Chain A
Amino acid sequence: MTSHEVQRLRIVFAKRGSLVYISHLDLMRAWERALRRAGLPVAHTQGFNPRPRLLFAAALALGCSGRAEQLDLYLEQRIDLRSAASALLAQLPAGLDISSITEMDLTLPNLPAQVVAAEYRVTVEPAIQPAEFQQRIAALLGSTTLPRRRERPDGVRSYDLRPLVQELRFAGQEHGLQVLSTRLQADGQATGRPDELMAELGMARQVRSIERVRIVLKEEA
């Protein structure tokens, strides 16, 4: 149950700089506080402990930057997009930058439910030659299964990484670093993690940065 929602805004934003080091939960709180400071009429969930109606497309792992993160914001009063944008811009901490605000149809499915994949750009220290890098990529793509085990707070989980990797390619060099580009499944079934992929390539220790460049939604896929 939620309070009356009259408008739904999709905000596309970047998370970078020092904000790369705050968790998803911290990010949610930072947005909630910025929205309160901006005085936007945010709708709230009902019940004993009302929460602002703010839905993020997908959590971003701590340590990764995001170029085009997305969230849907539900309002209890209609506002003009231009004034919403300027009120919000004045209240966002450095490291959060809005690139667009678009009004969405209230009847569309929830944003997280629409996510199917995410594209990442990973930079690595050049510990191996590009040719070998490409060989490793080819070998990974050529395999049929890539069983991995991942430690989680509730125990060790076994899964197959291979079907989660939809695209993977060596994207050249930049500022002395090698660049890798990938698209990983990210939906209700399973979410591929770029750090796991790098570990599978034997390059976990060489990773310098991971950037999520795009969140792919169902209708775009």
Chain B
Amino acid sequence: MTLPPSLERVLTGVSKPGRYTGGEWNSVSKSWDSTRVKVALAYPDSYEVGMSNLGMGILYELLNDQAGVLAERVYAPWVDMERALREAGLPLCSLETRHPLRCFDLLGFSLQYELNYTNVLTMLDLAGIPLQANQRDESWPVILAGGSCTYNPEPMADFVDLFVVGEGEEVLPELVRLYDRMRSAPGYSRTGFLRAAAAIGGVYVPSLYRVSYCGDGTVAAIDPLEPGVPARVDKRIVPVLPPAPSRPVVPFLEVVHDRVAVEIMRGCSRGCRFCQAGMVYRPVRERPVEQVLDAVERQLAHTGHEEVSLVSLSSTDYTLIRPLLTALLDQHAGKRVSVSLPSLRTDAFSVELAQLLQRTRKSGLTFAPEAGSERLRAVINKGVTADDLLATAEAAFRSGWQRIKLYFMIGLPTETDDDVLAIAGLVREVQALGRRVLGGRARLNVSVSTFIPKPHTPFQWAAMCPPGQVAARQAMLQRELHLRGVDLSWSDEATSRLEGALSRGDRRLGAVIQRAWELGARFDAWAEWFRPELWASAFAQAGLDPQFYTRRERAREEVLPWSHLSAGLSAGFLWEEYSRARLGEAGDNCRESCAGCGVRETFDLSACPVTLGADGRAE
């Protein structure tokens, strides 16, 4: 495809111009003029990050498979490209047919990370689209957003017309059909469409709700503005996982996850109390073995990739993981295809599985005990013991792995200095073990992130650990783990604070996001671009204190900014889990006994979790 000369002139002056040229294998360019509904799928981060997102790939293929609908992609232009587009007076365009974003009917953003929010504004602005939803009339695209951030989308409510809460595979086609029908009928209005859309399960239209506040800044109430608008929006799920995509787009550039990725299971049964994904992606649904094998086969044939990743929140828990891997390796042995399995549990079985995969290619081994002490692991319901970790590490070292990665968090509720010292103790033990087995070759990568309480988790009421204390505990670990063969990394404090404020923020943060963006905030998720001082000014100018969102323990009665949205969990379950956490009581694994989270009742499921029988089919 030849590019317009105006774009060519811009591309010669920017880094990695291949981010903006499209034309990748399996990208789909449908006829613009003869397609009725035009959807742009936007990812507010770099091409390399956005192209690695599984959900975008699923929705892209699903929409393009429908007659009368086209879906095209667009990613956030890197800072140099934004400048170049502005200087040249060029609008932001889709990758496929290069139409300006304002020409699309629906523009859907994938919101997976709070620190991408300012990039949404950049993309709207570069498209010439008014930022504020209430400034847009029928001549502008309808702005949608989905993804894990929509479990509390309030900070983005000013800018987005409609949020999809939960899984998009059914909702998005329903929205497209509704739009198609209404747009061609006489008297179409944007508000009419949004009102009708609000009746679809999983759709949240923020402009149809009024948020009022108490004197202390907490939310007093969130009320529907009209009859017929649901007081509570339940997330949508697909009770049965639809088949995985067949023809993922093959990037020319090296992207973050450059491989075939097939989702083997959605949801997680472990119930870790800090983990938003584990709570909001319930119920557990395993994909039948033959479907996984079939998807891998198709994707390999259509992409030419040589690496397969089996994706889920906890791959070791997939009931038939060993038969699946054996079948996969048998089918692709000798074809130089390697298989990787992220999210391994900390146990000997996982090492055994990893060993099985060694036949293809040696990859790293990562385990996540998350907390250092037994007590704190019970608080967060991470059912791993020190013995588990040591036995697993020993098995790994003995099987030939020289480098193991360990993930921990600090700043967890009820954490004391002793819990943090226990991390150091555990790491020392693993290191000593490694040296015993392998000598000086054993290496540990220890990654310590800062805990951020997330909506719809048992810790949604908890205060974040004070910044000074986090810094002191980071310093403590640096001191204790200044050891040969141990590489320690930790997360940036200011970045965690901002993520903390945005993830549990209310609608008033819209003004903060816009102000920070106006002041120049871009790519906040990237250390080289993140400028916390801009955010500090933006908070101050909006008259808001970020600590109000991060540092405050919420009472049970408080109306949380996301309390009108439901992940299908019962109101009592999360609080009960929070109470048990504070008592140091571990929770349940719902494969063993139902934890009573309420998701089964919300969605009236006949089976929960959906696991596989010996024949590889869902039971």
- The answer to the question of A126 belonging to the interface, with a C-beta cut-off of 8 Å to chain B, is no
- The answer to the question of B185 belonging to the interface, with a C-beta cut-off of 8 Å to chain A, is no
- For residue B336, which residues in chain A have a CB less than 8 angstroms away from its CB? 44, 50
- CB of A18 within 8 A of CB of B25, answer no
- CB of B301 within 8 A of CB of A93, answer no
- The answer to the question of B492 belonging to the interface, with a C-beta cut-off of 8 Å to chain A, is no
- CB of B250 within 8 A of CB of A18, answer no
Cα–Cα, bound, A50→B336 (Å):
8
Cα–Cα, bound, A89→B1 (Å):
16
- For residue A91, which residues in chain B have a CB less than 8 angstroms away from its CB? 25, 304
- For residue B23, which residues in chain A have a CB less than 8 angstroms away from its CB? 17-19, 93-95
Q: Knowing A62-B17, A94-B23, say if A21 contacts B11 (CB, 8 Å).
A: yes
- For residue B303, which residues in chain A have a CB less than 8 angstroms away from its CB? 33, 37
- CB of A23 within 8 A of CB of B18, answer yes
0/1 string, B6-47, CB within 8 A of A gives 1: 000001100001101111110000000000000000000000
0/1 string, A1-23, CB within 8 A of B gives 1: 00000000000000001110111
Q: Knowing A18-B21, A21-B17, say if A29 contacts B252 (CB, 8 Å).
A: yes
A66 to chain B, nearest CB (A): 15
- CB of B304 within 8 A of CB of A35, answer yes
Contact of A94 among B1, B11, B20, B302 (CB under 8 A): B1
- For residue B25, which residues in chain A have a CB less than 8 angstroms away from its CB? 30, 33-34, 37, 91, 93
- A75-98 contacts to B, CB under 8 A, are 91, 93-95
Classify the interface of chain B: helix, strand, loop or mixed.
loop
CB-CB nearest in chain A for B302:
A37
- For residue A196, which residues in chain B have a CB less than 8 angstroms away from its CB? none
CB-CB nearest in chain B for A95:
B23
Cα–Cα, bound, A48→B302 (Å):
26
A76 to chain B, nearest CB (A): 12
- The answer to the question of B306 belonging to the interface, with a C-beta cut-off of 8 Å to chain A, is yes
- The answer to the question of B305 belonging to the interface, with a C-beta cut-off of 8 Å to chain A, is yes
- For residue A187, which residues in chain B have a CB less than 8 angstroms away from its CB? none
- B238-269 contacts to A, CB under 8 A, are 250, 252-254
- CB of B2 within 8 A of CB of A22, answer no
CB-CB nearest in chain B for A49:
B361
CB-CB nearest in chain A for B18:
A22
Cα–Cα, bound, A173→B3 (Å):
22
- For residue B17, which residues in chain A have a CB less than 8 angstroms away from its CB? 21, 62-63
- For residue A19, which residues in chain B have a CB less than 8 angstroms away from its CB? 21, 23, 252
- The answer to the question of A136 belonging to the interface, with a C-beta cut-off of 8 Å to chain B, is no
Task: Bin the interface of chain B by size.
Answer: 20 to 34
B19 to chain A, nearest CB (A): 9
- The answer to the question of A26 belonging to the interface, with a C-beta cut-off of 8 Å to chain B, is yes
- CB of A26 within 8 A of CB of B2, answer no
- For residue B22, which residues in chain A have a CB less than 8 angstroms away from its CB? 18
CB-CB nearest in chain B for A25:
B254
A123 to chain B, nearest CB (A): 11
Cα–Cα, bound, A30→B305 (Å):
10
B206 to chain A, nearest CB (A): 38
Cα–Cα, bound, A117→B305 (Å):
34
Cα–Cα, bound, A23→B3 (Å):
17
Cα–Cα, bound, A37→B250 (Å):
12
- CB of B304 within 8 A of CB of A34, answer yes
Cα–Cα, bound, A21→B1 (Å):
12
A134 to chain B, nearest CB (A): 26
Cα–Cα, bound, A21→B252 (Å):
10
Total A-B residue contacts, Cβ distance less than 8 Å: 69
- CB of B304 within 8 A of CB of A63, answer no
Cα–Cα, bound, A63→B10 (Å):
11
0/1 string, A193-220, CB within 8 A of B gives 1: 0000000000000001000000000000
CB-CB nearest in chain B for A36:
B304
Contact of A33 among B2, B254, B305 (CB under 8 A): B305
Cα–Cα, bound, A18→B23 (Å):
7
CB-CB nearest in chain A for B303:
A33
Contact of B2 among A17, A21, A30, A208 (CB under 8 A): A17
- CB of B302 within 8 A of CB of A21, answer no
- For residue A62, which residues in chain B have a CB less than 8 angstroms away from its CB? 17
- For residue B302, which residues in chain A have a CB less than 8 angstroms away from its CB? 37
A198 to chain B, nearest CB (A): 12
Cα–Cα, bound, A44→B25 (Å):
23
- For residue B24, which residues in chain A have a CB less than 8 angstroms away from its CB? 93
- B410-467 contacts to A, CB under 8 A, are none
0/1 string, A28-46, CB within 8 A of B gives 1: 0110111111000000100
Cα–Cα, bound, A27→B254 (Å):
11
- For residue B306, which residues in chain A have a CB less than 8 angstroms away from its CB? 36
- A134-163 contacts to B, CB under 8 A, are none
- For residue A27, which residues in chain B have a CB less than 8 angstroms away from its CB? 252
Q: Knowing A32-B304, A37-B301, say if A95 contacts B1 (CB, 8 Å).
A: yes
B26 to chain A, nearest CB (A): 9
CB-CB nearest in chain B for A210:
B12
- CB of B254 within 8 A of CB of A26, answer yes
> Which of A27, A33, A91 is packed against the most chain B CB atoms within 10 Å?
A33
CB-CB nearest in chain B for A62:
B17
Q: Knowing A18-B23, A93-B25, A94-B1, say if A29 contacts B254 (CB, 8 Å).
A: yes
A8 to chain B, nearest CB (A): 20
Contact of A21 among B5, B21, B254 (CB under 8 A): B21
- For residue A95, which residues in chain B have a CB less than 8 angstroms away from its CB? 1, 23
- For residue A34, which residues in chain B have a CB less than 8 angstroms away from its CB? 25, 304
CB-CB nearest in chain B for A23:
B18
0/1 string, A50-68, CB within 8 A of B gives 1: 1000000000001100000
- For residue A32, which residues in chain B have a CB less than 8 angstroms away from its CB? 304
B189 to chain A, nearest CB (A): 39
Contact of B304 among A22, A23, A37 (CB under 8 A): A37
- CB of A26 within 8 A of CB of B253, answer yes
CB-CB nearest in chain A for B20:
A21
> Which of B250, B252, B302 is packed against the most chain A CB atoms within 10 Å?
B252
- CB of A17 within 8 A of CB of B3, answer yes
- B287-342 contacts to A, CB under 8 A, are 301-306, 336
Cα–Cα, bound, A22→B23 (Å):
11
B457 to chain A, nearest CB (A): 40
Q: Knowing A18-B21, A18-B23, A93-B25, say if A33 contacts B1 (CB, 8 Å).
A: no
CB-CB nearest in chain B for A207:
B12
B359 to chain A, nearest CB (A): 13
Cα–Cα, bound, A152→B196 (Å):
59
CB-CB nearest in chain B for A48:
B362
Q: Which 8 A-B pairs have the closest CB atoms?
A: A33-B304, A36-B304, A18-B21, A21-B17, A37-B304, A22-B18, A18-B23, A22-B252
Q: List 17 A-B contacts (CB under 8 A).
A: A17-B2, A17-B23, A18-B2, A19-B23, A22-B21, A26-B18, A26-B252, A26-B253, A26-B254, A30-B252, A33-B303, A36-B305, A44-B336, A48-B362, A63-B11, A63-B12, A93-B252
Chain B residues within 8 Å of A, Cβ to Cβ: 1-3, 5, 11-12, 17-18, 20-25, 250, 252-254, 301-306, 336, 361-362
Known: A50-B336, A95-B23. 20 other contacts (CB 8 A): A17-B1, A17-B3, A18-B1, A18-B3, A18-B23, A19-B21, A21-B17, A21-B18, A22-B253, A30-B25, A32-B304, A33-B303, A34-B25, A35-B304, A37-B25, A37-B301, A37-B302, A49-B361, A63-B12, A94-B23
